[in-house]
Amino acid sequence: MKTDNTQRQRLDRVWLSKDSCDIEAFRVEVERRTNLADYPHALACEKNVLIYDSASLLAACATTDGRRAALAEICEALAIGPGVAVFKRAYADTSVIDAASGIFDAIIEEQHRTNSGGGDHFAKPGANDRIWNSLEKHCLKSPENFAVYYANSIVALVSEAWLGPNYQMTAQVNRVNPGGASQSAHRDYHLGFQTSDVIEQYPAHVHRLSPVLTLQGAVAHCDMPLESGPTLFLPYSQTYLPGYLALKRPEFSAYFDEHHVQLPLEKGDVVFFNPALYHAAGSNRSADIKRVANLLQVSSAFGRAMETVDRTRMSVALYPAIKALVGSGTLSPEEAANAIASCAEGYSFPTNLDRDPPLGGLAPKTQAQLMHEALAGGWSDQEFRKALDEQTRRKLS
């Protein structure tokens, strides 16, 4: 009898199911209030969402201890806190954003002209325009703007807080036109993009693992008043373990529709959230605001990102631009490192250990390390390209 019971409990612990999701247990998780005193770096808490002033947060990171404290606070805010935070004025100079918006508009026009790209998995066709892999397209169209855009210290800080170093940046633009309808409530990549039949085949620890392998962010490319439909969030919903499955049940989506929160954003603000947080893009009820966000999806060095990115091609394009921007003093060495981290591969593996042995350490040189070495050594563009090609070849089986 006892054995039966133990077996039953084990099955329930390891196999989560859609049928066992309980709306009352969910309410206990999400009906918590954020105590601002728990987050001393935060400026405010609005609608249960933490608001940070980017300049003061970065000032607190000036020392090693200060930075460790800020990283720890952001990590817990996303893990066990509300799961979402707004970083006001993350881009203090919005001319960088405007220049990037011009590049994105040109890419969207090109997609329309050539009838390519732009399909969306959560919205009706025509309601919005998508640029998949805006990261690589942006880098190849304007390495100079890419370098300054991804030099951003808040993007680097929050990515590191959640994922540690050597993260893999990917990005997608979403432009929601007036009249564009809202998305359905969802969680994000990886398990968020699977059907419940598939999700139920993964043991519970994978449900815990998936959200710590990615981070979702959005850079506001225009002012987003509520009528324009900034993202809807349900704070604390990331903490409900069977939440990937619960969303397939109507009482959970109904709860989201009734209790979600929405905050207006200004151009240059960045919002970051746990990929397991229930969220959905809002409907654009404005007459004339094309709501444009660059959605950052940052992956752990140890995870597999959603999109294929040709980081070698990007590194070839970025190197001359970053060399010039550092040379002219436009980018500090730290900012240049942030831009390189968003472009080049920062992790040594997978590789071919016969040809690419870990000389002088435990891991072979990464693409990012090679770019730092080239910059420090003043290599020509040709020298860097040659070394990059050789490194890429060494990693093949």
Which residues of this protein are in contact with Fe ion, per CB under 5 A?
188
Q: Which of 212, 368 has the CB closer to Fe ion?
A: 212
Contact 229, 284 (CB under 8 A): yes
d(CA 74, CA 356): 36
Whose CA is closest to 174, among 232, 230, 93, 136? 230
Q: Which of 224, 343 has the CB closer to Fe ion?
A: 224
Q: Which of 136, 188 has the CB closer to Fe ion?
A: 188
Q: Which of 189, 319 has the CB closer to Fe ion?
A: 189
Number of H helices, E strands in the chain: 16, 11
Residue in this structure with the two tokens 């309601």, named with its chain if needed: 127
Tell me which residue has its CB nearest to Fe ion.
188
* Least Cβ distance, residue 187 to Fe ion (angstroms): 8
Q: What are phi and psi of 371, to 5 degrees?
A: -65, -40
Characterize the bridge pairing of strands 128-131 and 291-299.
unpaired
Q: Which of 277, 336 has the CB closer to Fe ion?
A: 277
Q: Which of 120, 188 has the CB closer to Fe ion?
A: 188
Contact 201, 259 (CB under 8 A): no
* Least Cβ distance, residue 41 to Fe ion (angstroms): 26
> How many C-beta atoms lie closer than 10 Å to residue 195's C-beta?
8
* Least Cβ distance, residue 231 to Fe ion (angstroms): 8
DSSP characters over 121-144: SSS-TTSEEEETTHHHHHHHH-HH
Read off the amino acid at residue 106: A
* Least Cβ distance, residue 350 to Fe ion (angstroms): 28
The residues pairing with 293 across neighbouring beta strands, listed in sequence order, are 174, 220
* Least Cβ distance, residue 186 to Fe ion (angstroms): 6
* Least Cβ distance, residue 188 to Fe ion (angstroms): 5
* Least Cβ distance, residue 290 to Fe ion (angstroms): 19
Q: Which of 188, 356 has the CB closer to Fe ion?
A: 188
Read off the amino acid at residue 294: N
* Least Cβ distance, residue 169 to Fe ion (angstroms): 17
List the structure tokens of 323: 């060399």
The torsion of the CA quartet 184, 187, 189, 192, rounded to 10 degrees, works out to -80
Q: Which of 129, 188 has the CB closer to Fe ion?
A: 188
Burial of 67 (0-12, 13-18, 19+ CB in 10 A): middle
Buried b (16+ CB within 10 A) or exposed e, 324-362: ebbeeeebeeebbbbbbbbbbbbbbeebeeeebeeeeee
* Least Cβ distance, residue 392 to Fe ion (angstroms): 32
Read off the amino acid at residue 58: L
Cα end-to-end span (Å), the chain: 54
Q: Which of 170, 391 has the CB closer to Fe ion?
A: 170
> How many C-beta atoms lie closer than 10 Å to residue 99's C-beta?
14
Q: Which of 188, 335 has the CB closer to Fe ion?
A: 188
* Least Cβ distance, residue 180 to Fe ion (angstroms): 15
